[in-house]
Amino acid sequence: MEGLELKDKRIIVTGGSGFLGRQVIEQLCEAGATREKITVPRSRDCDLRVWENCQRAVDQQDIIIHLAAHVGGIGLNREKPAELYYDNLMMGTQLIHAAYEAGVEKFVCVGTICAYPKFTPVPFKEEDLWNGYPEETNAPYGVAKKALLVQMQAYRQQYDFNGIYLLPVNLYGPEDNFDPRSSHVIPALIRKVHEAQAKGEKQIPVWGDGSPTREFLYSEDAARGIVMGTQFYNDSEPVNLGTGYEISIRDLINLICELMEYEGELVWQTDKPNGQPRRCLDTERAKKAFGFTAQVDFREGLKNTIAWYRQHAV
């Protein structure tokens, strides 16, 4: 498959120091990119909510891969919906415009599964993206990220700007965020089980009733999909990145408990929100458009993630 030659391209990876970003950089290098020409703007000295910083970041660059996001689990989405909307919209929309003005060759925008409507038929097909409003707890975040798809399509239509939009499902893997105030479900559950074991606790509280289903994509697979899209996809339509494997939260935590050898009781906090009822992607478009399929078995991916956390837990 003829694709974009990455050798000697000047590439920016926003969010490149995060757990997905580090994997994307590794995959870029494996695909032929020159490590010395990959730049990672850091939020402490390059706040992308500030227009001038976006201009500076994209200057003289060939490819922008926009991973940076202000993101978290249900708790953070309930606590800071305004921040999540503003930060994600401003970072993305300014960066896209700055990249267009600077004559950047290609812009890769990584969206979110939270952009899908609350009651999307399973498996989620890309054409269902606009058939309803996202699940309420993460709608501000989801809508802000979905607005970037509209921008990419509009800039392609008016300016012939080559921007693509990828939609990875929930990610997990080593080096994930395990902070209980902002982490997603897998790292949050791994930490809960680990701490219960350390303290000898016989019960673990878990939000919701365990009925919602989720699909999870190992970070290394997600990074490979993003790099393949960067090289081989040049169309306006959004593309799902996932595995097509759906698991309930109840089955997920039972599997984590099994892998971590925890034999205590799970206490379901049914007064807490469940989030979106079901999430599972149709992954055919990625397969047909640029040959991407996930490779890491879910059980193996979980084992790797647990092993990493146990090694690094304080």
Rounded to whole angstroms, how far apart are CA atoms 228 and 115?
22
Tell which residue, 192, 312, 208, 178, has the closest CA to residue 256: 192
Determine how many CB atoms are found less than 10 A away from the CB of residue 265: 8
Residue with tokens 């984590």: 256
Determine how many CB atoms are found less than 10 A away from the CB of residue 44: 6
245 catalytically annotated: no
User: What is the number of alpha carbons within 13 Å of residue 5 lying toward its C-beta?
Assistant: 2
Residues 6+ positions from 84 with CB-CB distance below 8 Å: 70, 71, 72, 76, 77, 138, 140, 141, 144
Q: Where are the beta strands (DSSP E) in 83-212?
A: 106-110, 163-168, 170-172, 203-207
With beta carbons less than 8 A apart as the criterion, state whether 186 and 302 touch: yes
Using CA atoms in the order 177, 181, 183, 189, what is the torsion angle rounded to 10 degrees? 110
Residues 6+ positions from 222 with CB-CB distance below 8 Å: 20, 23, 168, 171, 241
Q: Which of 85, 141, 262, 309 is catalytic?
A: 141
Tokens at 154, concatenated: 């509009």
Active site residues: 141
